[in-house]
């Protein structure tokens, strides 16, 4: 008779996998994906190194899953902000601010998710979640066009461009350890990104939008 795992066994297996993922996320948050090794994850999780391979076929698969759970949380926060009540322009500004502030506050993790050179499996996840962000911004742009807040445009193209601009605008500051700089520098950075993005999709200035 074939062995059938019990509910208790499956629960234990799930708990160990979650512990490994949490350990991996901690390592990436503090040292990037280069800090995530099988030995380091096992030590952080308090299990034998060989036991890691019972849950993940390789380090690359572990990194990809850590990337996924970290990015899913960020996408959910951005989506929630983008879908709040208010004009499309206001929601666009709020969404950019939310994304940027979270990135700057969790600098090492944000850099790892946005720009750190990674294994091909992780890079595939990165492309997937860039599309997820683009879908959020596409809905924002389409809302703006329908309401007359934004002019007619190719929403998918605009959304992809917004994601690229926001991410690329943050790469340098994240790698320069901006959290050690005065807060006004962060404010200026975020307002500059907001102004550029708003001009791109709405053909209006940030001050114009704030007066609405």
Residue 70's Cβ-side half-sphere holds a number of Cα atoms within 13 Å equal to: 30
Neighbours of 69 (CB within 10 A): 13
**141 shares a domain with 118:** yes
- Answer for the pair 77, 102: CB distance below 8 angstroms, yes or no: yes
Q: Are residues 22 and 73 in the same domain?
A: no
Tally of structural domains, the chain:
2
Mean pLDDT of the residues in the chain: 89
107: how many CB neighbours lie within 10 A of its CB?
19
Whether residues 52 and 135 share a domain: the answer is no
93, 160 contact by CB (below 8 A): no
Rounded CA gap, 136 and 154, in Å?
15
192: domain CATH number is 1.10.357.10
In a domain, 62, yes or no: no
pLDDT digits (tens, 9 = 90+) for 24-57: 999 999 999 999 999 999 999 999 999 999 999 9
Structural domain span for residue 171: 67-210
Return the CATH number at 4. Answer: 1.10.10.60
Same-domain status, 41 and 13 = yes
Report yes or no on 78 lying in a domain. yes
40 and 122 inside one domain: no
Distance CA 161, CA 168 (A): 10
Residues 76 and 165 in one domain: yes
Assess contact for 190 and 126: CB atoms under 8 A.
Answer: no
Q: Which string of DSSP letters, residue by residue, matches 127-142? A: HHHHHHHHHHHHHHHH
Are 76 and 179 part of one and the same domain? yes
Q: Are residues 178 and 74 in the same domain?
A: yes
Pick 43 or 209 by higher pLDDT.
Answer: 43
Place of tokens 């500059």: 192
Shared domain for 80 and 160, answered yes or no, is yes
Whole-angstrom distance, CA of residue 133 vs CA of residue 205? 23
Query: What is the structure's pLDDT at 7?
Result: 75
Residues 125 and 46 in one domain: no
Give the span between the Cα atoms of 39 and 140, in whole angstroms: 43
Whole-model pTM? Answer: 0.84
């Amino acid at each position: 008779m074939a062995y059938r795992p019990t509910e208790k066994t499956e629960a234990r297996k799930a708990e160990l996998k979650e512990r490994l993922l949490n350990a991996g996320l901690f390592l990436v948050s503090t040292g990037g994906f280069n800090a995530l090794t099988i030995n380091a994850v096992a030590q952080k999780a308090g299990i034998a190194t060989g036991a890691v391979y019972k849950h993940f076929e390789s380090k690359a698969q572990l990194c990809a899953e850590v990337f996924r759970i970290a990015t899913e949380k960020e996408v959910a926060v951005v989506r929630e902000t983008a879908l709040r009540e208010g004009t499309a322009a206001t929601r666009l500004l709020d969404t950019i601010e939310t994304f940027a502030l979270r990135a700057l506050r969790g600098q090492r993790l944000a850099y790892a998710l946005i720009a750190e050179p990674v294994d091909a499996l992780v890079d595939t996840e990165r492309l997937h979640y860039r599309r997820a962000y683009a879908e959020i911004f596409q809905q924002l742009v389409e809302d703006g066009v329908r309401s007359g807040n934004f002019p007619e445009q190719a929403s998918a193209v605009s959304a992809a461009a917004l994601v690229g601009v926001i991410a690329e605008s943050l790469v340098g500051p994240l790698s320069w350890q901006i959290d050690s700089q005065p807060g006004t520098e962060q404010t200026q950075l975020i307002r500059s990104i907001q102004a550029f993005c708003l001009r791109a999709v709405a053909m209006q200035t940030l001050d114009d939008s704030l007066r609405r």
